[in-house]
Structure 1
Amino acid sequence: MTIRTAGSGRLAAAAAHTEAALAVHAPHLTDAFLTHLPHAADTVGRRLRAALTRENLTPITGGGQHHAFNRIEYPTAGVDDPVDLLTGIDTGTMAAEIRNAVINLAIAMARPPHHDKTDNPDTEAIRLERLAVAGHNLHPCGRTRLGWDTVDVLAHDLEAGHTTLRFIAVRDDNHLG
């Protein structure tokens, strides 16, 4: 197997890990994942850049279009890895969340949309919901799934089409909240 992920750094390492997992578990998505990765990074980066500006967390200035309620949109992220926008901020797990959002968005974009239109309004609502792969339009971490590996995303994310839920009993003295 040849890893084709371009670039260097932690985003490239995360992408290479995902590319390798896709090659084994969903090889039909590998090329589309790599194609969508730059767009996913830019989408998450633009949202992060806007959030950092809106919350006065960083002195990013210029180039953004202002909207109502202090919302700002940038035409580009201005960086290849959105985590680079966090310079000077104590990130903790934020860097991992941002990169995870990029990877999962690229996987979602790589999946072909479900076109099976139906007369059932519930099924149709689910089909339309699956078309909104980018997550929340303002939140940079809309696709974050910390703790999930690529196989989990393929099996349980919205675009999976289905997932299995099981109910378990938890003793009252084991509840945390």
Structure 2
Amino acid sequence: MLQNEKTFSKLVTSATILSSALLISVAPASATTAFITGDSSAVSANDNLKSIGITPHAIGNTLTWDLKGNVVDPVNSFNVKSGYGNVKLYAKNTGTASFRVEVKYNGTSNKVIFNQTVENGKPAVEVINNNNNPSVPAGDYTVTIYGGSGLPKGEVVLKSSDTPW
């Protein structure tokens, strides 16, 4: 078999596995039935993805926060479960003034894992901390939006995952 034929064969195999994973993911009833009945021959979509080198994200906790533009420096909370130290921040500003998002660990270190300015009139901001620079300890965090009299308006989403983004 020629090198190009081998490569093509691997691509076809990967595409077949991926399409199987997609079919499984849109048929949750059968997957749930297999889980409930203990059918160990059933292969999960995650297993198919892992077999072709794609690691799916298991989401820990999510904070979706709609900023209404009616509170000065609003505060919220977020929790990172042990093993879910990969955190993604998405922030969109729909107001008239810039604001800053600070995500600070409530533990003894008071470590700030995000300190991101979100400018008005600019595209949304998406930043990632895959448990480094600084590390992301498990526990409770305080999320503060600093906008002062600009009354922050927009959306902030935080997600934690067991897999790097």
| TM-score of the two chains, using structure 2 as the length reference | 0.24
> Quick check: which one's helix share is greater?
1
Structure with higher RCO (Cα < 8 A, 6+ apart): 2
The structure with the largest alpha-carbon Rg is: 2
> Quick check: which one's strand share is greater?
2
